[in-house]
Structure 1
Amino acid sequence: MSNPWAVSFVSTVFACAIVCGIIRPASSEHHQTKAILVLEESDVKGAFYAAIFSGLRSAISDNRDRPITIYSENLNLIRFSDREYEQSLRVHLAVKYKDKPIDAIVTVGSSALEYALRWRPLLWPDTPIVFAMADRQTVARLKLPPDVTGRTVRFSLQDMLVAARAVVPGLRRVALVGDPLARQPVFRHLEDELPAVAGQVDIIDLTGLPLRELRRRVADLPDATAILYTSLYSDGEGHYFAPADALERVAEVANRPIIIGRETFLEHGGIGGYLAIPRAIGEEAAQLALRILQGESPANLPIIEGNTTRPIFDWRLMQRWGVAAASLPDGSEVRFRPPTAWEQYSWWILAIAAALLLQGLMIVGLVIEHRRRRNAEIEARERLSEAALMSRRITIGDLSTSIAHELKQPLSAILSNAEAAQLIINSDTPDISEIKDILFDIKRDDQRAAAIISNIRNLLRKPTEEDQEIDLNKILSGVFQLISDKIASQNIDVFEDFSHDIPNIIGNEVQIQQVILNLVVNAVESIADSGGAHREIVGKTSLMNNDFVEIAILNSGYSIPSESIDQVFEPYHTTKSQGMGLGLSISRKIITAHRGRIWAENRTDGGVQFRINLPVPRAVQSECHADHRAPCR
């Protein structure tokens, strides 16, 4: 308890000092550098007040019109507030700033504002005051003069109750935690709201309890309860600490979410609420002070509520207490939420999406190109087929005499046998066995004629697009039979050296038949032109390493000049006077389309051999390679 005699003595000494001129109020003479004195009601350790001063100093520093000096005093009125302490502070400040002109005073907190109003007449007469973080009730009670302005801050039990209902569905009670409200300058006015709150929910008053007892009580609160934390500066056992540290001690054991009123409490165990933003409080006060220093009258700057309180919540504690973001008040800010994949990797996602899009465009382009190429291949095959058909028709036209003679033989035999059968039947004693022999001969000759016609029809028909199994021995033998009359007319001997172990290949039978026909016809014509005595054509088939079937057409005609042997398959290259030079060119295209190879070689004993390699079907290859002992069929 303060000593009244001591207070009276100090006041008397202080007044005499001013009257005698020992202590003079700061001179109001003109000076170049402007000065602001900041009076904070807290001590220097508090994070909240430090953030207010940081915001104020930053806003002042951003002003480059003229240099401004900032003086700061931490009055520590939360722990020391008796009259003796006030008198000592007044004397201290009078001595400290006796030669330091002050152009504006900024107070932080309701208590600092009240002290500044009492001290100003003696220490800083007529110096304008800008207040910050003062509640609306205190400002209304003080009835401020015109040269005092500022921004009020909203600290409300009703706001804390709104936040509590958002966090705890079906809220029925709240637990008040902190120092007694009457001893808290910032929250002292909340006592006036208690009756209204009590009419809405039950209030569990835990203010003023020693920390040890408080921790025990908050660990065993009933359901549907929220904790409303103001500030706690002492553990009740003689130890003082910052309110944020006390909050951590409470949050360690609390079994219910804690509603707070300051932004700096957010990372110390409070889930959130309508929070005062300290930096914004300092910035608003700085802007008002700067306007006054620039010549505006405080009376023209109305006192209004600052925009420094916002609903803010901690995402981590929302997860702990099962609070959905949708239940929060409108406009709430949720902090410490892990960034979404888009927020964290947006550039990577865009890059991958761009790569996928580019890849998709490339795939579409490749599909279109593949389709164009396929259409081009189909068109090329159709043109090749048409050219091959024309070539076949030309070949058949050239062989028409031979084919007619070949057909005439079985037809003449049929006619002769039919006439003989007619005579036998008309006789008195017809020989039935002889008639049977005649009918057998007629059937055989008819089949021979039908085979010739079938071969011609196959050559003249347009090939289908579907591949089929091809018996190369049969095709080669059929070609020799088809032009046997032409071969016989040139006194050419034909030898068939067929391997019976070769498998059927897959391809277009008509086209392969055309290639073999071209080679055999060329062989006949080459032998005829050479006029040599040795006249023979050899047709061979064989299996090459179980991978290819080889067809070889050997003739004893002219050899091909070595410089021209690689050109015989070029379009329009011919050694015949009446030739078009397309037969071998078309043959090579047909064999290439069947994934095969055709080439020519001169024989050492004269003449030429044309060799064709065609692939064995893969299924047959696998069987052949699996068992080398078995024939590849």
Structure 2
Amino acid sequence: MTTNRQTIKLTGAILLAGILLPLWLTWGFGKSSVMASTVEKPDPKRILAIFLFKQGLPWAYRIEESMRLSLASKTDFPTELNVEHADLSRYPEETYIPKVIELFRYKYLRRKMDVVIAVGDESTNLLMKHGAGLFGDIPAVFITIDRQDLPQEIIKPHMTSLLWGWDFKKTINIIENSLPHSKHLFIVSGTSTSDQKLKNLARAALRNYDGRLNVEYLSGLAIERLLEKVARLPENSAIFYLTIFRDANGKTFVPREIMSVISEKANSPLFGIVDTYLGHGTVGGYLLSAEHQGKRYADIAANILRGEPIKDVEIMEKGNLPMFDWQQLKRWAISEDNLPPGSIVRYKDPSIWGLYKWYIVAGVSLLLFQAFIIIGLFIQRRRRKLFEYALQQSKEFSTSILMSLQDHIAVLDREGTILVVNESWMKFARQNDAASLDCIGRGVNYLEVCRQSSDMGNPMARSAVDGIRSVLEGSRKVFNLEYRCDSPTEKRWFHMSVFPFKGHRGGVIVAHTDNTARKLAEEKAGKRRDELIHMGRISMLGELSASIAHELNQPLTGILSNAQAGEMLLRRGDGNSVQIEEIFTDIVSDGKRSGDILRNLRELFRKQKTKMEALNVNKTIHETLLILHSEFVVLGLNFHQDLTDTLPDVFGNKVQLQQVLLNLFRNAGHAMMQTAKEKRSISVITSRANKSEVQIQVEDTGPGIVPEKIEDIFEPLTSLTPGGLGMGLSISRSIIQAHGGRIWAENKLSGGARICFTLPAVEDHP
């Protein structure tokens, strides 16, 4: 059974490797080629591991794989692990050694190693005798059974040793506890150097043993003789198998393979020393892990390559673990209760539950499923009746709500066909045309009705079709449209809303809301606002009368003076044509100036319908300043302009914007009445607020705005100057908001107030 499981695992591993290897190679080569083209890799650090065994032994193979994985994870520099299998356990002859040395010299003369590790006592002896000639004084690590066998006079500063780390005493304790009636212990080993050193290590470990077991050694025997002995061991015996690389006749073996033969012949349980023995006839024991050994060797190699001092140290714990084969425990009737805590037991036969767990689960699940289905059907039948009743009630409730709504509502499916309409929808249709019920009622395609209306010249119908379609297709979540639809007797406005309908047939809900009352109220409010704005301009006309008179007085005085001078020249008869031409030119200039002033005043103060157009902000400011020039002179105000020449036009009403500017300029002038004349200054600044707006700032050097009132200055009846009505800034805010802009106030850090407002640029206005 164990063999079958291993065969299945091996087959699966081969198939997995066959699938993943090409992908891994493609990825690896692609990645390496890219890396090679961009980064030059440093030379790897090279490690050479020399095993005493022949190639292919499981113990050596697991150690090698563990070393490779550990080196990759423990180092941040590239490494290269080279492995040699000296096969010294099979070929101990002196004539064999020179051939191995010559091979190593040929292979590693040019490829210099950074660390060399001798795994096993035979490899250690080889490296101690010939290592200097082969590798020079590079760091060398000896993995040995016992350091006492190392000749200290040969050990150099660049050498260190590491013990395998077996703990035989714990295995013997396991034997005593797991076999409470055992009396005899037979320790089995071979005749190779490693075999003998392991036997000596066992003798040393048991030198002071005073347990109940009678210990005997079966070593130095031919394999045939050994098999005869283990087949006839006394009752209540146990075997402690070390290694057999070679027997008394010079035959060589793989220790794990010959152990399997011994276990089959033996009449007593066999315990071992390494984890690779498991599954091949050993009960287990306190076993040395090949994987852990590989990690230990990689650890000391990584430390040496990092430049740490080399010395005899125990890098990691030796890695002995209590591990057992369940098949052998069963064979020899050894209870798991007698094993040490934390023991690892492998190769267990699965129980009936383990073998057929999913069949059992499936069968029970099927029975439970059938039972649940039967019960569920009864419950479902009852629930279905309740749901049908609740659904009917819900439909009636929804229909009642739909029919009671004042808005005109229709539900359309995905194609635009009307599924249901409410009473308001039908009532509106009757009031407008009784025959139209068949045209816009249930079952009619509403999109087609709107298209026909569009073809008849209704531009809003085309927008409605596009909006409904956009919600149906999911490009919009909601669509809104405001449109005018007059009856023969009155004006009417409606707001159309379209939003998704999540019923089983999909579609949208279309609602038409009558906004006539609101629109009429807005129109009325707009008229009242325009009247208020006009009254504000009329009141401002009285306040500006002195300034306007002064502005007109200058050009009129110039006209009078030039006319008198011309009259005098004509009367005396000594004027020439050039002088007279200059006089008339001055008269024309002063007349144009007077005309410009009067025209600006007439446009500013006449009552007219609001007209929106593209305006040059800077030009509008200049024209406004002409009206206020005299007043600023009388008040002793300095005026500064910082106007950006590259501003786009704004979309607005010139008269209303001039009214805003007049309010802001005059408020700034009156705010500085208590300020010394030499410090009175007004600044106007224009700039680009952002991509879609132009900003105008009016600043003064007065005392500023009281912080508690700065949020309220745009409210009606809030005045910043004594005697003011408090309507100027409120009207200004209404004008700016009607233009789609923003207005706000703030105090300057240097003193004085700043009023800012924005207007939409023409290039960004729809």
TM-score (norm 2): 0.40
**Which structure: larger Rg?**
1
Please give the TM-score of this superposition, normalised by the length of structure 1: 0.47
